[in-house]
Amino acid sequence: MVNNFQLPPMGYGPGSQPPEEDGTELEYMQMPQDMRTYTTHYPEVELSDELKPALDLLACLSEACVQVAEGVDVEPFDLSKLDAPNRALIAETMGSGEVAMKVRGLPSIKVQESVFAGVWMLQAAGLDAIEVGSVPRIARTSAFKPMRAGQGADAPRNPAVVNAPPLLVELEDKSKAYVPGADAHVINLTLLPHTEEDLVWLDVALGQGATDILSRGYGNCRVTATALPHVWRVQFFNSMDTLILDTFEVTEMPEVALAANEDLIDSGERLREVLEAIQ
């Protein structure tokens, strides 16, 4: 049977045409790359009785992941009493995951998610601990403590500040009316007309809270608490650090920073796998 297939016409496509007379060539935008992915890492250790505290702790962390996913609150695990070899084994096993946080205060607390989603490393002066949960408690409870108080509608403005004041009124209204567990209220600045002066004015009007979050995956997401309760600035950047989405969210904690129950269950299973591989 003869089909209707035809060869494409000659003289089309990349490289088929002579270069322009000025010698310039078409330049293509660099494509995103280097997405972070999880790979299992098994610590190389020689088993001995001295490492029993670290191995017991890994078993407890595995159980805690499942308990938290089922709605049970689990107290943080204190690492300060581990000796150097046991602490080193925990550090090597935990690694560094996608989400990092800084909670300002006295003392400031550095938070780093491990490679096991929902398992968080907390460090500060007098603090060395692991917490299991969707997000560390301190990141929630201290989020809106003002590090820089917001000036509200009294923030000084110039004629270039046009659309920001109505946005502030909306954010203040949603902040006062927020009920724990309610759906997030999102204002997408990317889709709204605004000037640079509008954004600067909103920053002064809202102030700055205590919690800063960076989530690294396919690009970065930067989350900053304002000094207005339940109001967060959430900015998404692509892998070339270009801002692609700029929003305010009125919520207890933006979803991008949370470990889901499914993540916690998966972390519990992977911790068991690592523990079995070590033993």
Distance CA 109, CA 103 (A): 5
DSSP symbols for 142-158? TTTS-SB---GGGS---
Are 215 and 256 in contact by the 8 Å Cβ rule? The answer is yes
Distance CA 47, CA 51 (A): 7
C-alpha to C-alpha distances, 43 to 128, 143, 151, nearest whole angstrom: 21, 35, 51
**SS3 assignment, position 100:** strand
Are 174 and 250 in contact by the 8 Å Cβ rule? The answer is yes
Please tell me the pTM assigned to this model.
0.81
36, amino acid identity: R
Distance CA 147, CA 166 (A): 24
Q: Which two tokens stand for residue 205?
A: 């009007």
Are 222 and 213 in contact by the 8 Å Cβ rule? The answer is yes
Report CA 20 to chain centroid distance, whole Å.
Answer: 46
Q: What is the pLDDT along the chain (279 residues), one digit of tens a residue?
A: 455 555 555 555 555 555 555 555 545 445 444 444 455 666 666 667 789 999 999 999 999 999 999 999 999 999 999 999 999 999 999 999 999 999 999 899 999 999 999 999 999 999 999 999 999 999 999 999 999 999 999 999 999 999 999 999 999 999 999 999 899 999 999 999 999 999 999 999 999 999 999 998 767 999 999 999 999 999 999 988 899 999 999 999 999 999 999 999 999 999 999 998 887
From start to end of the chain, where are the E strands?
77-78, 99-103, 109-113, 119-124, 127-132, 185-188, 211-217, 219-225, 231-237, 243-250
Q: Which residues contact 101 (CB under 8 A, 6 or more apart)?
A: 110, 111, 112, 136, 139, 211, 212, 213, 214, 257
Are 124 and 108 in contact by the 8 Å Cβ rule? The answer is yes
- Tokens 């890994």 appear where? 58
